[in-house]
Structure 1
Amino acid sequence: MTEQTIPEPVATFIEAVNRHDEPAVLDAFTESGAVDDWGRIFTGREQIKGWSDKEFIGAHGTLAVEEVEATDGTVTVIGDWRSSHANGRSRFVFDVDGDQVTRMTIREG
């Protein structure tokens, strides 16, 4: 695999995920940020935390980045997701506004 350059704030978010730093993951989102996990929507810090506690950080998830594509305001990362909840190649699409994530959408890679 070639070295992938991941734009901010997504690079910092992925680093926080891989070290299981829940506060940093939650702080990466805007106040009204959202996660779309295969069509299930979690909006705001409280809902994102509840989802993450079971399926993301709480499941000791890690993401090995394989592909990155960036366009204006959107960063798509495809990689190998491993956790105690789910495993496999996944596509993470991040909508960003400045230095925060407004939405993270997770689908099959």
Structure 2
Amino acid sequence: MSAAETPASIQAFVDATNREDADGFLAVFAEDAVLDDRGRKFRGRDQIAEWSRSDNMGVHSHLTLVSLKPGTEESAFTATVSVKGNGYNGIGTMTIHVDGQHIASLVIS
């Protein structure tokens, strides 16, 4: 999947994280979105903001989208992401469901 085919919400998630733009980051998520970080669930923008402060922007994560493939469900994608920063470093997989211009759910595995 080329960058031109990457859904805008997924690209905005990566870009906002790399700029450490908290408002832009939260705007990417639907108001009732769910983020699951290896079993720790965060529901809604307020809890996702808490996660970002402790596990994402708070540790200066920098994301590189290595690959993005269509998932098994409509509007779902499997992303391989390289992460660098003061927290987790390495390659990870995310399952992302988009709903229009927003991320409805993001599961980090």
TM (norm. structure 2) is: 0.88
Q: Is the 8 A contact 2:14 2:64 kept in 1?
A: no
Q: What is the 5 A alignment of 1:1-109?
A: 4-5=2-3, 6-71=6-71, 72-107=74-109
Q: Is the 8 A contact 2:96 2:103 kept in 1?
A: yes
Q: 1:64: how far off?
A: 1.3
Between the two proteins, the alignment pairs up a number of residues equal to 105
Structure holding more helix per residue? 2
Q: Please tell me the residue identity of whatever aligns with 2:86.
A: S
For structure 2, which runs of at least 5 residues remain unmatched after alignment? none
Moved over 4 A (4+): none
For structure 1, which runs of at least 5 residues remain unmatched after alignment? none
Q: Deviations over 1:34-87 (max 9, x none)?
A: 110001100011111111101111111111121111242112210211121111
Q: State the superposition RMSD in angstroms.
A: 1.4
Distance in 2, matches of 1:34 and 1:100, equals 12
Q: 1:13: how far off?
A: 1.6
Aligned partner of residue 65 in structure 2, secondary structure? strand
Identity value in percent: 29
Distance in 2, matches of 1:51 and 1:79, equals 18
